[in-house]
Amino acid sequence: MFTNNPTTGGSKTPGTITPDERTTLLGEQGGSGDLEHGGTRAKSLHVYALLGTSRQLNVAPEAALSLLVGQAVGDILHSDPHAHPEHPEAVGLAVATIITFQAGLISFLLGFFRLGFLDVVLSRALLRGFVTAVAVVIMIEQLIPMFGLVGLQHVQNPQSTLDKAVFLIDNAFTHAHKLTTIISFSTLLILLVLRNVKVAFKKYWWIYRLPEVLIVVVVSTMMSDEFGWDDDGVDILGAVPINTGSAFVHFPLHKKTLRYFQRTTSTAVLIAIAGFLDSIVSAKQNAAKYGYSISPNRELVALGAGNIVASFIPGTLPAGGSITRSRVNGDVGARTQMASLVTSGVVLLAIFFLLPLLFYLPKCVLAAIICLVVFSLLAEAPHDVKFFWKMRAWVDLSLMALTFFFTIIWNVEVGIAVSLIISLLLVVHRSSKARMTILGRIPGTDRWKPIIENPEAEEDVPGVMIIRLRENLDFGKLRLYMIKERLAD
């Protein structure tokens, strides 16, 4: 296993791996994890573009989902302390492939049987709490390479987001790499200035359409090469090996993958749920922003089909919609699903032809670009908090806070599970409280009116209480004690 060493210009030394590097671990002998990652993204984008309903959603392997796959691989590799697999890379390859296939199949079946109605439990408060928490998680993750603390992170190995925040506070001003920090925050400042300039001169299309991110990437790569930043300890992208191995496509269900089928099902279920939640949050945001509607059932089918097709490429990681990349997709002008098809083609071309040109690209520049997107996600939270407070929507405000804090203090998966459970309980609680009205007859007429609104109405049928329910009858609404309570009143 490997880790980036910021003092050696992107070279590899013994240690641990980051979630983004787990793809490389899952590569087969003679293959390349980075190629599999790119293949996953291209295939998933192709399929989603044909079946999905969101016009801006960017589908690709996510760090949180990749981390779950890496944990499953590690558990299987170390399940027997007395046995050591002869080819651990092959085990990782098989586990990743079967998890991706199962996650895709679960998502596809949920959509096929029209279970996308589960989306109704995702209230605006839950979504805002989740999006804000994810934005904070991403920002903390990216601040570590921006301060040049990746190597120290591998030594101390903070686990949760809270641990990483404490790690940043303790080391940002004492162990930060000076040149990396300057490059990172200078890049972020330049991006913010360029974005504000574009907004100020929006009427000039040639200014508004300037690709500030592309400009920063090209310029920083050229400067890194010219001034030898890698020799000064700045972590760069470096060489990315490209090798398709003996075969690029394999049927995902075979002897080597089926042996891990049962042991990885729980991980696949969690990945399917987490991937759908990420995707639906992003899809809803873009649909509201650009004025169109989405279908949760079609989203499930599209995500599931994308992962099933991607699993035919050995070693693929499960893909889901990305909140940050989808936001970037919309900001740069994507308005139809053709953007996904173009993106998938560009990804493949970039893998085979453009990666060598980005050899000297500083990784801290990439982190700064992601932080720029995070700012736009965080900017929306104060408005919603103010709205909930003004409307005295204490339940919604509490749900938003709980979702946020559980995601930050524990992890994304716990935040998802807790927020969904609380939302389901609220839905069940509200649906079990029937709006029941007791009716009485208006004297001298055949009309029956609610007695609480018409005091003159009389319940003049001995031994019978006439009620009106405004919802469908079920056992939760028509409980005996509710009738007794009304009779007691």
Q: Using CA of residue 309, residue 300, residue 340, residue 62, what is the dihedral sign?
A: negative
CA angle (326 as vertex; 368, 126 as ends), nearest 5 = 100
pTM: 0.67
3-state SS assignment for residue 388: helix
CA angle (354 as vertex; 351, 359 as ends), nearest 5 = 100
pLDDT at 112: 93
Under 8 Å between Cβ of 117 and 299: no
Q: How far apart are CA 143 and CA 128, in angstroms?
A: 22
Nearest CA to 483 among 448, 451, 438? 438
* Tens digits of pLDDT across the chain (489 residues): 333 333 333 433 333 333 333 333 333 333 334 444 555 556 677 788 888 899 888 888 876 677 678 778 877 887 766 666 777 788 888 999 999 999 999 999 999 998 887 776 667 777 788 778 878 888 888 899 999 998 888 888 887 788 888 999 999 888 899 999 999 999 999 999 988 888 788 788 778 778 888 899 999 999 999 999 988 889 898 887 665 556 678 889 988 899 999 989 988 987 888 788 778 878 888 898 888 988 999 999 999 999 999 898 888 889 888 777 788 788 777 888 788 788 778 877 877 788 888 889 999 999 998 888 788 778 878 888 888 898 888 888 888 888 888 888 877 667 777 777 887 787 777 776 667 777 888 887 888 888 878 877 776 677 777 777 776 666 655 554 455 555 555
Q: Which residues, in sequence order, are bridge partners of residue 469?
A: 436
Torsion angle defined by CA atoms of residues 22, 28, 33 and 35, in that order, rounded to the nearest 10 degrees: -160
**Residue in the block written with tokens 């919603």:** 384
Residue 148: C-alpha distances to residues 24, 53, 219, 327 (Å): 22, 40, 20, 26
Pairing status of strand 448-450 against strand 436-441 = antiparallel
Number of H helices, E strands in the chain: 20, 7
pLDDT at 80: 67
SS3 content of the chain, % helix, strand, coil (to 5): 65, 5, 30
DSSP 85: -
- Enclosing H/E stretch for 467: strand 467-469
Q: How far apart are CA 222 and CA 201, in angstroms?
A: 28
